[in-house]
Structure 1
Amino acid sequence: MANERLREAMLKVGISTFELADKLGVNAKTVERWITLDRIPYPRHRHALAAALQEREAYLWPNAVTPERAARVAESELVHVYPRRAAIPFDVWTRLIRQSTEEIGILVYAGLFLPEQVPTLIKDLTVKAQAGVRVRVLLGDPESEAVAARGAEEGIGDAMAGKVRNVLAFYNQLRGVPGVFARYHGTTLYNSMYRFDDELLVNTHAYGFPAAHAPVLHLRRLSAGELFDTYADSFDRVWSSGRPIWPAAVAA
């Protein structure tokens, strides 16, 4: 069976079998076998191929990594565990935002703390979007059952919906900025997420506790890893189910 993922990745970046072979210092027939016979390259070649094709090893060769190594890689993707969200230093937020070059994603019910804790948030997101970074903001739909349930679980009732409306006053300043997209979602939110390119802060949720009092996982994507992508894929699923808060200046 052919490795169609590898073939597609090569087509995507416009590199030929001979060019790739020359780049890796191998015979063109070797590269052809990697494609047509789904032969798995040596680890050093997998790393180089993934970098050249801008894809993850785990995607190109899902069976190449043993369960034992996959577990070790997952541990390596975990940069830090904060016992609660409030323990994240201010400079971590500002560094992650300002170092982003491709993607910033915010998935919360309200997340009112963020524009309050990072006073330059709206300015920073505007600058990033103008520089070509895609900014996606997902807020809980204040009319949804999920937001009402979360408010009840935290013992604050309708105040949760009120917090969503309050935070929207901040994000409305981004309305019309090309590259910034905002949607409401009505999903059960198992984690709040904050994505900055290949780094991700996952604020776990615990029943009856506000998100500020729950642990946060700081993840960094590795080519052979799957932990980061599990959460990134979850973000994309919620995004797909959302509805625009206001018309985007450029189609998402």
Structure 2
Amino acid sequence: MSTALVPIDLPDWSWERAEVRQSLRARDIAAVFRHVQQYSGASQSRIATATGMTQARVNEIINGRREVVRLDVYERIADGLRMPDDARHLLGLAAGREKRNGGAAFDLAAFPEVVRVYAAQNAAAEEIQQQARTTQELDVLAVRGLGLIGLNDSLLRACLPREQGGKGVRVRVLLLDPDSDALTRRAAEIGESAESLAGGVRLTEARLRELLADGCDIQVYRYRMLPTWRLIRTDTTMFVSAFDAGWEGHESATYKVMETPHGPLFRGFRRMFDAVIDGAQRTV
């Protein structure tokens, strides 16, 4: 049976990859088609059918012998490839008639770096863990960190390759200094005793020392400023949420931020993390 008429349906994560987003932003349809082939296995014939072109025309575009310049052709391509709205916006098009994303996550087309917003950390947990399992660098900025990396069933701890003792992944963790005035203030904000909050920080440090003893490349630091941002970085992707009076970081909306060639958000958050480390005390 011919597969030429089978709809092309790329996984959502493929549209979020930096190289795909750069191709869309540059309106490089040849590169877009190559990415479609890479991530969906679609032939030139299938791409042609989906986008209302001939196979010969698709071949010319992929091989650089023809460029796409007409708006209606861009629209046909976006519709035929079922581009999500943020991909359409990068291509310079309006949102599609039907939203592809719903539920706990939605796209922010106006900010190419911010590819998704989750209602809370638990809505992003599966994607965070997927990223953490393949990362080479893991940075964590937290208050006590028990739910992120301290406990056995925490969000990130199980993602470290236990059979290798966590080797191959460089981990840096920033925790709020349990002896600081900032911790006392933060405890009051969330209605918890300073003693309890400080005990949680110290427990996380103790559990992270166990990872170090197992051979994990891990560094743990204490910072002394009032926490504002909660951050998880896996290579070129960040998951960012905020602390405020009355709620903890995992209750905040979580922003998925990806590194782009000229975007300020990823660079700014990474610079902030490094600056906090520069002024922090290493404990592990």
Residue 204 (structure 2) aligns with: 167
Pick 1 or 2: higher relative contact order, CA cutoff 8 A, min separation 6: 1
Closer/same/farther in 2, CA of residues 120 and 154 from structure 1, 3 Å limit: closer
Residue 184 (structure 2) aligns with: 148
Q: Matches of 2:132 and 2:247 in 1, distance apart?
A: 27
Superposition pairs for residues 135-214 of structure 1, below 5 Å? 135-158=171-194, 159-176=196-213, 177=215, 179-214=217-252
Q: Matches of 1:243 and 1:163 in 2, distance apart?
A: 18
Closer/same/farther in 2, CA of residues 128 and 195 from structure 1, 3 Å limit: farther
Say whether the 8 Å CA contact 1:94–1:118 is kept in structure 2. Answer: no
Give deviations 1:8-34, integer Å, cap 9, x for gaps. Answer: xxxxxxxxxxxxxxxxxxxxxxxxxxx
Closer/same/farther in 2, CA of residues 202 and 169 from structure 1, 3 Å limit: same
Closer/same/farther in 2, CA of residues 119 and 189 from structure 1, 3 Å limit: closer
Closer/same/farther in 2, CA of residues 172 and 243 from structure 1, 3 Å limit: same
Q: Matches of 2:199 and 2:174 in 1, distance apart?
A: 16
Closer/same/farther in 2, CA of residues 167 and 161 from structure 1, 3 Å limit: same
Q: TM-score, normalised by structure 1?
A: 0.62
Say whether the 8 Å CA contact 1:185–1:243 is kept in structure 2. Answer: yes
Residue 121 (structure 1) aligns with: 157
Q: Matches of 2:254 and 2:117 in 1, distance apart?
A: 6
The alignment partner of 2:112 has SS state of: helix
Residue 16 (structure 1) aligns with: none
Q: TM-score, normalised by structure 2?
A: 0.55
Give deviations 1:51-110, integer Å, cap 9, x for gaps. Answer: xxxxxxxxxxxxxxxxxx9xx997111121112223223x22321111212x21011111
Deviation at 1:166, TM superposition (A): 2.2
Match of 1:99 among 134, 141, 164: 134
Aligned alpha-carbon RMSD (Å): 2.6
Residue 75 (structure 1) aligns with: 111
Q: Matches of 1:113 and 1:140 in 2, distance apart?
A: 14
Q: Matches of 1:203 and 1:144 in 2, distance apart?
A: 22
Say whether the 8 Å CA contact 1:129–1:135 is kept in structure 2. Answer: no
The alignment partner of 2:186 has SS state of: helix
The one-letter code sitting in structure 2 at the alignment partner of 1:104 is L
Per residue, is there more helix in 1 or in 2?
1
Percentage of identical aligned residues:
25
Q: Matches of 2:116 and 2:165 in 1, distance apart?
A: 25
Which structure: larger Rg?
A: 2
Per mean C-alpha deviation after superposition, the further-off stretch among 118-127 and 177-186 is 118-127
Q: Matches of 1:173 and 1:123 in 2, distance apart?
A: 15
Closer/same/farther in 2, CA of residues 74 and 162 from structure 1, 3 Å limit: farther
Residue 130 (structure 1) aligns with: 167
Deviation at 1:240, TM superposition (A): 0.7
Closer/same/farther in 2, CA of residues 74 and 168 from structure 1, 3 Å limit: farther
Say whether the 8 Å CA contact 1:106–1:194 is kept in structure 2. Answer: yes
Q: Matches of 2:165 and 2:276 in 1, distance apart?
A: 23
How many pairs does the alignment contain? 175
